[in-house]
Structures are given as C-alpha cells and as structure tokens.
Structure 1
Amino acid sequence: MSNLQQLRHFAALAEHGNFARAAEAVHLSQPALSRSIQGLEASLDCRLLDRHSRGISLTVHGQLVLEHAQRLLAGSHALKNAVSQLGNLEAGELLLGSGPYPAARLIPQAIGKLASAYPRVRIQLLIDNWLGLRRRLLNDDLELFVADIRDLEDDPLLHIEALSVHRGVICCRPDHPLSRKKSLSIEELLAYPLAATHLPQQISQELNSLSGKEQPISIQCDNFMVLKALVAQSDVLTMALWDVVAEDVAAGRLSVLPLANGMFQQTSAYGLVSRAGHTLSPAAQILRQHVLEDERTS
C-alpha cells in the first residue's frame, strides 16, 4: 500500500521532471528517491514513469496517480492546517480565492482585519475567474473563495452564500471623447475597445446580442487593477461594478458613461463559495464573517 511520503516524492518528481532536482527538493539522495518511486510502483503494480536521456515522463498510469496524489496531499495539508488553527489561531494558513472585482475592494478589507487580529496566520490569495476558482476549490487548493456565482448556483458540490448586489457600469478616463456625451448608443460604445474580466455566460450572451458581435470584448483580463490602469491612460473602456470604482469616480480618476435608457443594465452576483459538507477552518470562518459584515455596512 502506498503512503503519503511516497506520493509526495512522486509528485515532486513529476513537477521537476528530473531525479536530481526532485531529490534535492525533497531532501533525499537520488538512490533513496529512486527506491521510494520503485516502492510506489510495486505497491500499485504498475509503471508510473518512462525514463529517458532528458529525464522522465509520466505513463498513463502515472498521470492518474499524480491527480489522486495531488488531491490526497492537499487534503493532508488541509487537515494539518485546520488542526493547527484550533485554539487561538497562532499558526496555520488560509488558502483563499477571489474573483477580480471582489479582489479590488471586498477581499482586501476582510484580509486586513484578519491579519491585524491574527498576524501569525499565513494567507495565500489567488485571483482568478469563477471557473478556475471552482476547479481549485474542488482540488483542495483553496478553502473558500468570493466570486460571481451565476454559473455556479446549481452545483451540488458547492455551498454558496449570496452577497450584496451592485450595479454594473461602463467606465472611461475623465477626458475620454465619450465622457462629454449625455446618452450613448451601443454603436458609439463599440467604436472604442472594450475591456472586461471573464464574463458570466448570462452577461456574455446579452452583450453579444446587444452588440451583434460574437466577440465584443477587445481585451480580456482577470486582473481589474490592470484594467483600471489601462483605461486611465488610453481610450479603452471597461465594464465594472459600482462598488469597485466608486472611489475612483469620486476622486476624478474615472468617469461613468451615461448609457441609453434600458441598455445593458447588469448587476453583480457575488457569493461566498466553499465545498458542500465541509467545515471551514477557524481562519476561514473569521474571514467569512468579516466579508458578511463589510457587505452589510457597504
């Protein structure tokens, strides 16, 4: 029967693709690493590697074992982390994910409060769209994330708590040619490049229908801070949510474009997402509470 140590050695070898580098990474000699891999192959009764002059490559069995090994190792890490956090949160880490818009306002506020109260908790934040975050959550790479939930709501593997709704806007730099208009048509908007994060299917379909274009988004980027910087120094427009641009608009760094009545009236659909049936670690529970409190007072 294989053990976690052998699986850890195998995962390191798959990552580095070379016995020498993998052995160094796991603090073993090459012969010891080789014996560990051979023991794993013997216990599973299959060949996991093809050895060649350039290093190693995984067999079909090896690819399958690697997928399971990564999940088991992540689960083992999560268990140790949850146990270490019991008590006064003097240790452990929080693996957290966020969509681009919550990462621009909501998540930094909640992380700041958690870090101030529990400075010894190590926090790792991954920013991605909801599809990537879901995949990482189910692979145990994340414990909790905040993102758009429109395409996740019927997923039985997830536990979802909906958050406050914010209106959608289209922004530009204050001296943009369109900022002087009183009411804009879709044709006037599409005369300029439009930038956005990865859009939920519902919004994407509405925008495609409204514009008559299969790909109306000229620039896609899941880092909203990059999009804001791009808009501030060019004629590019960006789709955004009011809560993440309100301060920039008030400070005169961005302007909200006046759309024609009824045109593209979208809102946010943020949610807190974790695995169904899984208990959150103490750190994740505290961060969740901060997010809910900040949303109620925003």
Structure 2
Amino acid sequence: MNDLRQLRHFVAVAEHGHFARAAAAVHLSQPALSRSIQALEAGLGCRLFDRGTRHVVLTAHGQLVLEHARRLLAGSRSLQNAVNQLGNLEAGELCLGAGPFPAARLVPRALARLARRYPKIHVQLVIEDWRSLRRRLLGEGIELFVAESRELLDDPLLAVEPLRPRPGLYFCRPGHPLLEVGRLSRDAIADYPLAGPQLPDEVVDQVRKLSGREQLPDIQCDNFMVLKDLVQHSDVLGLATSDVVAESVADGSLAVLPPVPDIPNRNSAYGLVSRAGHSLSPAAQALRALVLREDEELSA
C-alpha cells in the first residue's frame, strides 16, 4: 500500500509540472522527491510522468492516479479534521462553499456567529455557482455549501435541505431612467443590459421567452460586490434576491424596479447541500445550525 506522503509528493509534482519547484513546495531535496516518486511508480507498476528537460507531463496512468490521490488526500484531511473537532471546536477547519447571493448576506452572517463562538476554527469559503460547488463537494474539496438548489433536488449523490425562498427582483442605481416610467414593460427592460450570476436553466428559458434575449444575463458575474458596483455606476440593471439588496435599498445606494407585468420575478431556491450518506463534522454541524437560524431571522 502506498503511503499518503508519496501521494502528496506526486500531487505536488503534478501541480507544479517541475521536480525542483515541487521539491521546494514540500520541503524536500530534489533527489529525495525523485526517489519518492520512483517508489510510488514501482509500487503501482506504471510510469506516472513523461520527464522532459524543462518540465514533466502526466501519463494516462498519471492522470488516473492524480484523480484518486486528490480524493484520498482530501479524505485523510477530513478524517483528521473530524477527529480534531470531536467534542472540541477549538481546533480544526471548515471548508464550505456559497453561491453568489447567499455569500452576499446569509452565509457571512452565519460565519460571523460561528467565529464569535469558536474563534480558533480555520474557515475556507469558496464562492462559485452551484454546478462548480457540486463538483467541489463530490471531490471532497468542501464539506457543504449554500447555493441555488433547484437543479440539485433530484441528485442521488446529494442531501439538499431547502431554505426559505426570497423574491427575485431587478435593481438599479437611484435616478435610473426606468424609475421615471409609470408602467414598466418587457420592451422597456430590454433596452438595458442585465447583469447577474449564472441562472438556473428553467429561469433562463422563461425569461428568454418573455424578453426575447438570446443570452441571459448579458453580463454574468458571480461576485455580488462587483455587480453592485457596476449597477451603481451605470444604467445596467441587476438581477438579485430581495435579501441581498435590502440594506443598500434602505440606505439609498440602490433602488428596486417595480414588478414587470409580463416578466415574472422568480423566487430563490437556496439550499444547504452536503453529500448523501455522509455525516458532517462538528464544525459543519455548528455552521448548519447557524445558517438555519440566520435564514429564519432574515426571512422574518
């Protein structure tokens, strides 16, 4: 059985594409790293790298081993993390993900509560769309995530805990020309670019039929702070859920457009997502409880 240390050395070489740089990264001499890789290749009975004068390239066997090595190393970290946390949330780490809108308000507030209770937990937060977060979750790069979940509900590999829906809306800068229009229409909205994160397919299809746009949104970005700044300094319209713009609307830095009769404002479908059949670490369980509490309070 090849030990995890050899797998760590192998992953370092694969990621750096160079023995010298990988050796520096894992704090080994280059000859020692080479011997570790050779021992791994001997144990597996295959060549993992094609070695060139300037860099190394994974073989087909190497590609396969890399996929499994990353999964094994992630599992090892998860095991150690769970053991460290058992009955003691003063140690360990939590790797989680969030979609653009939950990351703008719900998740930071839950994390703030977690940090106040357990200030020594190391937290890594990844902000991406729900499809990318699913890949990370199944690859054991994160333990759970909060994101759009309507396309994940029937996935047998996932456990999805739906959160309360938030109304979807269009937002704009104060003084936007559309705020002066008495009754908004589909044609009026279509005159301005629409910015937002990646949208679920059913939402895209419905809005496309009603708006006549081929691609939605016109400007796609998964960073809500960037979207907010873009909308505040242009006539671009933003697409969001009510919770993430509430404070900005209250302080007057953003405005909300009234509903458009022929373009429905769809509700969000946030969910807490983890791997089916896998128990959460104590830190992840604590965060889950805080997300549910924050979700209830924000909805109220």
Aligned-pair identity (%): 61
Shift of 1:3: 1.7
Native 8 Å contact 1:183 1:259 kept in 2: no
User: Which moved further from structure 2: 19-28 or 126-135?
Assistant: 19-28
Q: Does structure 1 retain, via aligned residues, the 8 Å contact 2:184–2:261?
A: no
> Which residue of structure 2 lines up, in the alignment, with residue 168 of structure 1?
168
1:273 aligned partner = 273
1:134 is the counterpart of 2:108: no
Provide the C-alpha distance between the structure 2 equivalents of 1:70 and 1:216, rounded to a whole number of angstroms: 35
Distance 1:151 1:226 in 2: 25
Which residue matches 1:226? Answer: 226
1:207 aligns with 2:203: no
Within-5 A mapping of 1:1-298: 1-298=1-298
* Displacement of 1:35: 0.8
Q: Point out 4+ residue stretches in structure 1 off by more than 2 angstroms.
A: 259-263
8 Å CA contact retained: 1:89, 1:282? yes
In 1, are the aligned partners of 2:184 and 2:260 still within 8 Å (CA)?
A: yes
**What are the superposed Cα offsets for residues 56-113 of structure 1, whole Å, 9 maximum, x if unpaired?**
0001110110010001000100110111111221111000100000001100110000
**How far is the alpha carbon of 1:263 from its aligned partner?**
2.2
* Letter of the 1:223 counterpart: N
Q: Distance in 1 between matches of 2:89 and 2:166?
A: 33
Deviation (angstroms), 1:184: 1.1
C-alpha separation between the residues in 1 aligned to 2:149 and 2:224?
18
C-alpha change, 1:273 and 1:216, in structure 2 (3 Å) is: closer
1:13-72 CA-partner distances (Å, limit 9, x unpaired): 011111111111111111111111111111111111001112100011101100100010
SS at match of 2:187: helix
With the length of structure 1 as denominator, give the TM-score of the two structures: 0.98
Give 1:262 deviation, angstroms: 4.9
After TM superposition, the structure 1 stretch with the greater mean CA deviation from structure 2, 42-51 or 177-186, is 177-186
Q: 1:276 to 1:118 in 2, by over 3 A?
A: same
- Asked if structure 2 preserves the Cα contact closer than 8 Å seen for 1:249 and 1:255, the reply is yes
SS of the residue 1:147 aligns to: strand
Deviations 1:205-246 (A, max 9, x none): 111111222214210000111101110011110111001111
- Kindly state the Cα deviation for residue 195 of structure 1 after the two structures are TM-superposed: 0.4
CA distance in 1, matches of 2:63, 2:158: 26
Question: C-alpha separation between the residues in 1 aligned to 2:147 and 2:52?
Answer: 44
The gaps in structure 1 that reach 5 residues or longer are none
- How many residue pairs match? The answer is 298
> Retained in 2: the 8 A contact 1:185–1:259?
no
One-letter code aligned to 2:180: R
CA contact (8 A) 2:85 2:91 kept: yes
